[in-house]
Chain A
Amino acid sequence: MTASHEAMWERLGLDLEAHASLLEVLGKFYGDIYLSQQGRLRGMEYLDFVLSEIHGLRIRELDEARAQGRKVVGTFCVFVPEEIVWAADAIQVGLCAGAEAGTEAAEKILPRNTCALIKSFVGFKLARLCPFTELCDMVVGETTCDGKKKAYETFSDYAPVYVMEIPQMKRSEDRALWKAEVLRFKQAVEDLTGRSITAENLREAIGLMNRRRRVLQRLNRLRAAHPVPISGRDALLINQVSFYDDPERFTQKIHDLCDELEEKVRRGKGVADGAVRVMLSGCPMAVPNWKLPYIVESSGAVVVGEESCIGTRNTRDLVDEGGTTLEEMLDAIVDRYLKIDCACFTPNQERLEHIVDMARALDVQGVIHYGLSFCQPYAMESFKVEKALRDAGIPMLAIETDYSMEDVEQLKTRVEAFVEMIR
């Protein structure tokens, strides 16, 4: 794809040489982790194609949409109410934050003990490696953790940042704050796009987002079959791609894939005979962070669910579609997003309940809790998660790591030992 898109990347201000080596590494990584799998679904060709054109065709589409006057809004968190963006005919994309890129540049303006995800989005921008970031008319930050909150202050020197305040408790006062923030965001998106959000376009956007959530729910139900019909890596990739491909196309393609999956389940075909069923829980894994799932699935286990923002935390709850007035719909959005059980909340008992329920429903033999180094909220909760799971008789392994490859051998030993233990 390189030659045909180079002019576009240059216009977007990317560092062409560094970007070319990033794509090369990514391509090799993808080949090793994804294309080496046997017996994949035909439907995964769509994902392979999207991934191969991750900085190519999709960027071209966004570029063309912008030329026609549409706006692009970039986000880093599942708290940003997408319905509002789509209702205003803008396009929302999740921004790259899953690769070790531009770390040296990022560490010039961030402390070294900052989580890999934050370093990554700052690094991608400073090193001029992410065409998505360069295309954004608005980048939405949020106050989920102190690291992100403060990083956005710095980041706003480099990109058009808008920050939403996320409450940290769930009392009525917090709901009022959150509603005020949703309304403020609505105004900001209307100002950006010059379009009013109406009951009509918001209803459509709610439908669009719910359809995308429903197809991911369908995928999650099907992947939990015995034997497991799709690798955890592939399912994670589908969740990751949901953040930046066109939602209509994505939903259609994943329904097709699910039809194929359904057929496979009916035939009783599995992808990992004799593998131990595990669930991942914790921090999000953004593209191309496939490190832990790959280690897990190379160690005699198969991942059947992700309790994560790139996973069920983003797809579990739908926005109620019963509202008829704009006010009712906005309230439904406020309520739906406030159900998110991010570790930034206190208390956050519902996350523990969701994890135990999910582990039982998926019939897993163990849970691997994934924390990014220096992510304090999830590191703190991992102790509670372990206790809740222990009380339910489900073993847990806590892993803390980042995007670098230096600890892969040690992680393998720990994951393999965990698999031996729960087998």
Chain B
Amino acid sequence: MAVIGIDIGSRSIERVVWDQATGAWTWDKVPTTFDPLTQCRKLLADADGCPVVATGYGRALVAEHFAELSVRTITEIQAYARGVHHLVPEARTVVDIGGQDTKVIALSPQGAVVKFEMNDRCAAGTGKFLEFMATSLQIPLDSFGDFALEADKQVAINSMCTVFAESEATSLMARGERPQNIAMALHRAIVRRTLAMLRRVGGESPVVFAGGVAHNRCVCRLLSEALGGDVIVPPDPDVLGALGAALAGAGP
């Protein structure tokens, strides 16, 4: 029998269908839009009878509106821990940078959560920050990381506040700084913030980098440089929450 994991994030919704008999799984992804419920309906249209585990900031929405399905909820922290442990059993730390949250999770050798840190309140240091800055530099989000990797000089942006950082970027542009160098500075700011959270949970190796921002090659490279090359980025890093949710539905 199949189990469905669904991760309702601020930017995208991922669904994983896990076959309990074979351990095979498939995934789908849709943008969250302003109407996440309709998007969830599309993803859960053929769910009849399957256990569903919802995670992400919209988890309660699913539990509330799909009473006909047996929906359980778990937090993103638990979901990412499970998903990562399944794909990379030796992982001891998970860095998950999503649309509006950054989480750093310390795992026991058995894959249990032993400690976690989450950014509070504002979107500083999250995918939202990158999205905002990419827009302000008029670079498509998907290629923002590659654009930053073309930097040839180190300039500093110190503020982690999205609004203040934009002012800093604007001043740099006004001084004629190359946009690639500004983009790199913005990426460094995110990584600096993430490293501070990593240190607070201990940050033992191996570190797995997941979440939507793990698609960004510049953040991956900077993180890996800072940690001495020890960062694993699984394929499809943004579906690990949905995978973990499905696994929670299948397992104990």
Identify the A interface with B (CB < 8 A).
395, 400, 406-407, 409-410, 413-414, 416-417, 420-421
Instruction: Verify if B27 is at the interface (C-beta below 8 Å from A).
Output: no
Residues of B with C-beta under 8 A to A395:
115
Q: CA separation between A167 and B96, bound complex, in Å?
A: 46
Checking A406, A407, A420 against B77 with a beta-carbon cut-off of 8 angstroms, the contacting residue is: A420
Residues on B with C-beta less than 8 A from A410 are 101, 118, 120-121
For A409, give its contact among B57, B114, B115 (CB under 8 Å): B57
Cross-interface CB contact of B113 among A400, A407, A413, A421, cutoff 8 Å: A421
Contact, CB under 8 Å: B118 / A420: no
Inter-chain contacts of A420 with B (CB < 8 A): 74-75, 77-78, 113
Q: Is the CB of A417 within 8 A of B113?
A: yes
A-B contact count (CB 8 A): 37
Q: Other than the known A407-B121, A421-B114, what 8 A-B pairs have Cβ atoms closer than 8 Å?
A: A409-B57, A410-B120, A414-B116, A417-B75, A417-B77, A420-B77, A421-B78, A421-B116
- Please list 7 pairs of residues, one from A and one from B, whose beta carbons are closer than 8 Å in the complex, sorted by A's number: A406-B121, A407-B120, A407-B121, A414-B118, A417-B116, A420-B75, A421-B116
Residues of A within 8 A of B57 (CB): 409, 413
Binary interface encoding of chain B residues 49-78 relative to chain A, with 1 for a CB under 8 A from any of its CBs, else 0 = 000000001000000000000000011111
Chain A nearest CB from B249 CB (Å) reads 14
Q: How distant is B61 from chain A, measured CB to nearest CB, in Å?
A: 11
Decide if B74 touches A413 in the complex (CB within 8 Å): no
Q: How far is the CA of A416 from the CA of B54 in the complex (A)?
A: 14
Q: Which residues on the A side are within 8 Å of B120 (C-beta)? A: 400, 407, 410
Contacts of B75 in A (CB 8 A): 413, 416-417, 420
A421 to B112, CA, bound (A): 7
Q: In the docked arrangement, what's the CA distance between A395 and B112, Å? A: 13
Cα A416 to Cα B79 in complex, Å, equals 12
Question: Which chain B residues border A417 with CB–CB below 8 Å?
Answer: 75-78, 113, 116, 118
Q: DSSP class of A's interface residues: helix, strand, loop or mixed?
A: helix
Complex: how many Å from CA A417 to CA B78? 6
Q: Which residues of A contact B115 (CB under 8 A)?
A: 395
A276 to chain B, nearest CB (A): 14
Closest to A406 in B: B121
Bound: A255/B116 CA distance, A: 42
Q: Say whether B76 contacts A413, CB under 8 Å.
A: yes
A345 vs B114: C-alpha distance when bound (angstroms): 31
Name the 3 nearest CB pairs between A and B, nearest first: A417-B77, A417-B75, A421-B113
Min CB distance B118 to A, Å, is: 6
Nearest Cβ in chain B — how far from A405, in angstroms?
Answer: 12
CB B130 to nearest CB in A, in angstroms, measures 20
A251 to B2, CA, bound (A): 58
Q: How far is the CA of A410 from the CA of B57 in the complex (A)?
A: 8
Query: CA A416 – CA B63 in complex, angstroms?
Result: 15
State how many angstroms separate the Cβ of B41 from the closest Cβ of chain A: 22
Complex CA distance for A414 and B78, rounded to whole angstroms = 11
What chain B residues lie within 8 Å of A409 (beta carbons)? 57
- What's the Cα separation between A115 and B181 when bound, in Å? 39
Give every chain A residue within 8 A of B76 (Cβ-Cβ).
413, 417
Interchain CA distance A413-B118 in the complex, whole Å: 9
- In Å, the complex CA distance between A417 and B248 comes to 14
- Choose among B57, B74, B120 the residue with the greatest number of A CB atoms under 10 Å from its CB: B120
Q: Which residues in B have their C-beta under 8 angstroms from that of A407?
A: 120-121
The distance in angstroms between the C-alpha atoms of A414 and B104, with both chains bound, is 12
B76's nearest neighbour on chain A, judged by CB, is A413
| Interface flags, B112-156, vs A, CB<8A=1, else 0 | 111110101100000000000000000000000000000000000
Interface flags, B83-115, vs A, CB<8A=1, else 0: 000000000000000000100000000001111
Alpha-carbon separation in the docked complex, A147 to B112 (Å): 41
- A407 to B77 CA separation, bound complex (whole angstroms): 17
A265 to chain B, nearest CB (A): 32
In the complex, which residue of chain B has the Cβ closest to the Cβ of A407?
A: B121
Inside 8 A of B116's CB, which chain A residues have their CB?
Answer: 414, 417, 421
In the complex, chain A residues whose CB is within 8 Å of the CB of B113:
417, 420-421
**How far is B77's CA from A416's CA once the two chains are assembled, in angstroms?**
9
- The listed residue with most B CB atoms (<10 A of its CB), out of A407, A410, A413, A416, is A413
A400 to B119 Cα, complex, angstroms: 12
Which residues of A sit under 8 angstroms from B121, Cβ to Cβ? 406-407, 410
Measured CB to CB, the nearest residue on chain A to B248 is: A420
Distance (whole angstroms) from the CB of B89 to the closest CB of chain A: 19
Distance in Å from the Cβ of A75 to the closest Cβ of chain B?
Answer: 32
Q: Nearest Cβ distance between residue B128 and chain A, in whole angstroms?
A: 14
Closest residue of A by beta carbon distance from B73: A416
A-chain residues with CB within 8 Å of residue B77 when the two chains form the complex: 413, 417, 420-421
For residue B123, give the distance in angstroms from its CB to the closest CB of chain A.
11
Enumerate chain A residues within 8 angstroms of B112, measured Cβ to Cβ. 421
- The CA-CA distance from A417 to B76 in the complex, in Å, is 8
CA distance A413 to B75 in the complex (A): 6
Contacts of A416 in B (CB 8 A): 75
Cβ–Cβ < 8 Å partners of A421 in chain B: 77-78, 112-114, 116
In residues 23-57 of chain B, which contact A (Cβ within 8 Å)? 57
- Cα A409 to Cα B118 in complex, Å, equals 13
Minimal Cβ-Cβ distance residue in B for A299: B75
In the complex, A420 Cα to B113 Cα: how many Å? 9
For window 172-230 of chain B, which residues contact chain A by CB distance below 8 Å? Answer: none
State the CA gap A407–B41 with chains docked (Å): 27
CB distance from B241 to the nearest CB of A (A): 12
Q: How far is the CB of B144 from chain A (nearest CB, A)?
A: 26
Q: Measured between alpha carbons, how far is A172 from B201 in the docked complex, in Å?
A: 41
Measured CB to CB, the nearest residue on chain B to A419 is B75
Question: Which residues on A sit within 8 Å (CB–CB) of B78?
Answer: 417, 420-421
Shortest distance from the beta carbon of A347 to any chain B beta carbon, whole Å: 24
